[in-house]
Chain A
Amino acid sequence: MIAPKTMKTAEYQETAAEEMITNRSFWSDARRRFLGNRMALIGLCFVGAIILFAIFGGLFAQYSIEEIDWSLLGQVNEEGGPSLSNGHWFGVDELGRDLYARVVQGTRVSLMVGFTAGILSVMIGSFFGAIAGYYGGRTDQIIMGAYNITLSIPYIIFFVVWQAFFGRSVGQMIIVMIIINWPAGLLIARGQVMTLKNREFVDAARMLGLSDAKIILRHIMPNMLWVIVIYTSITIPDAIMMESLVSFLGVGIQEPSTSWGALISEGARTMTYGALWQLLFPAAFFAVNQIALYYIGDGLRDALDPKERS
């Protein structure tokens, strides 16, 4: 392409030089490195597709979640398999309900629980970790005490007890998972703050007369954001895993709601009768999602870890 005349003006060159200078921030560097990581990009595509599936998949379902296909009932194992002709693209479940609609619903629930619980627990954990690391002393001891107590809770029993008191719902599920998972990110945030608070630029900020809150928010947090981002990307698949595990064991999400774990659990019960699709569809979504998320996490670590910066 031939450069238009305007490109040669001094004004243009000045703005070009300015762009060159301003486009070299840490985050734009990181973005460039992340976009150069093929596996992470593929992972991103898969996760994006699964999220789109959870949001819009329901529009294409031929049946509602609770509608029972009476024509297949009683012969689910022989006739209820995936089929394009009758609209049950993923087949039907044990009770004759459309599995496609059920998988859409399960994906929604699993992603919602995983992302909300994962992100919120890392935020809460790193908030307390930052406070513990910055103030130290008594504050640190109290927070670390709470951390150790949380670690010692057997979480499956905790799920059972909590749900006995407060009932079973997606909301309660998220709350329990935050209570169990909040230490995720606590130690790492605490350690980061403890090293960062002794850096000279934090002294410089104190010298300027900034308050503690401003120092933590403006000077310490941005410097450890990369750790929190990486940690969140690991905690989300872990939370999905935990949700699926407890749902698989029958403690978590229950009918009429469902999740990947609950669907896999149902599928595992019926696979001996030949209804393999009831296990394979939810399991495939679950596995692809987990692997993709881990690759994204890996890509983020490579992109953000300053030690890798060249």
Chain B
Amino acid sequence: MTLLSVENLSIRFETPDGLVHAVNDISFRIDAGETLALVGESGSGKSQIALSILGLLSPNARTEGRVMYNGTDLLSLKTKQLNKIRAREIAMIFQDPMSSLNPYMTIERQLNESLELHEGLKGDAARKRVLETMDAVQIPNAKNRLRAYPHEFSGGMRQRIVIAMALLCKPKLILADEPTTALDVTVQAQIMRLLDEIRAEMGTSILLITHDLGVVAGACENTLVLYSGKVMEHADTRALFAEPQHPYTRGLLRAVPNVHDDAAELSAIPGQPPNQMLALTGCPFAPRCVDAIDACRDGVPDLCGEGHKRACIRPVEELT
């Protein structure tokens, strides 16, 4: 069952220097209970996609296309209507747990806020729910830490609180915007396991945004590879890692170190991402692609294929 479908979404930013094309004509769907990873390098537009779903884009952003949720187009909703969906239906986990909690508010007050707003819970009922959620995200000794301030927690604990905040109203979809980037590797693993457990228990769908291929490999069913605001490849995570069918994905995977084979050479993708001030005229990856032919620069390739989708005009067999 489709929970959320993004249809032909484009996001542009009006800046004094002209339009910035952050996201170009992207479509994908998330089913109930599915985990989908959005992978891409910095500036590929992955965070902007998540922000656009909740209407949190900066005021100079212009969107095209539709984001359908429960039969309504989220992009066309006013803030007031969006406020009913935010946190209750779709919640977001922000990247930096150090700055996504208000330093002047106790944990309990911050967690209570959304409960009070969306479910009208107060006092003991709210506290009970907060404690349950804090237990669910495995914060030890939750009862005694309710009145603590964010700076009294470690980074990993703060990220758990941020996750608890997103979980409180039992949303159907969680947008996790690089939830582990600011954390060290061991804590990363704990947080990813936690997200996985939550999904299994509550049946929540998760859209995981990351640039870390290692995180994706372990956590998500499906993966969508973005480059310069365009989908390059969309496939089952295992299939994508085993047999990447797009030159960009191949390049990315070759750049990841392999623990089992320390003799293998790491190869970087040469060149720079394209200038986003210019509208796309051909495949955005063509200037850096080892397999590019002249035809690649003539038109923007469509995403095609069943199951394993790719946006490349060259057949898989001809790729290096």
Contact = CB atoms under 8 A, between A and B. Distances in A.
Nearest to B175: A207
Contact of A209 (B94, B95, B102, B114): B114
B96 A210 contact: no
A219 B117 contact: no
A17 B114 CA distance: 28
Given A21-B144, A204-B94, A222 B102 contact: yes
A206 interface: yes
Nearest to B91: A207
Contacts of A207: 54, 56, 86-87, 91-92, 94
Given A14-B144, A209-B83, A222-B102, A26 B114 contact: no
B105 A222 contact: yes
Interface in A8-50: 14, 17-18, 21-22, 24-26
Most buried by B among A137, A207, A219, A225: A207
A203 B100 contact: yes
A22 B148 contact: yes
A201 B100 contact: yes
A17 B99 CA distance: 26
A14 to B, nearest CB: 7
B82 A223 contact: no
Contacts of B86: 206-209
Interface in B118-158: 118, 144-145, 147-149, 152
A155 to B, nearest CB: 36
A219 B96 CA distance: 17
B148 A26 contact: no
Contact of A24 (B88, B103, B149): B149
Contacts of A137: 59
B165 interface: yes
Contact of B104 (A14, A17, A136, A223): A223
Interface in A177-216: 199-201, 203-211
A218 interface: yes
Contacts of B118: 209
Contacts, number: 83
Contacts of B95: 200
B270 to A, nearest CB: 34
A84 B112 CA distance: 64
B224 interface: no
Interface in B30-57: 54, 56
B103 A209 contact: no
Contacts of B67: none
Interface in A110-159: 136-137
A14 B144 CA distance: 9
A18 B100 contact: no
A211 B83 contact: yes
B162 interface: yes
Interface string B264-276: 0000000000000
Most buried by A among B84, B87, B104, B165: B104
B88 A209 contact: yes
Nearest to A27: B104
B152 A24 contact: yes
Nearest to B166: A207
Contacts of B113: 205, 208, 210, 218
B1 to A, nearest CB: 25
Nearest to B86: A209
Nearest to B149: A25
Contacts of B147: 18, 21-22
Contacts of B82: 209
Nearest to A196: B102
Contacts of A210: 83, 113, 117
A218 B109 CA distance: 10
Nearest to A220: B102
Contacts of A18: 144, 147
B226 interface: no
B145 A208 contact: no
Contacts of A218: 102, 105, 113
Given A26-B103, A208-B113, A222-B104, 12 more contacts: A14-B144, A21-B145, A21-B152, A22-B147, A200-B100, A201-B101, A204-B100, A204-B162, A207-B54, A208-B87, A208-B165, A209-B114
23 contacts: A18-B144, A18-B147, A21-B144, A24-B149, A24-B152, A25-B106, A136-B59, A200-B94, A204-B100, A205-B113, A207-B92, A208-B114, A208-B117, A208-B165, A209-B82, A209-B86, A209-B114, A210-B117, A219-B105, A222-B102, A222-B105, A223-B102, A223-B104
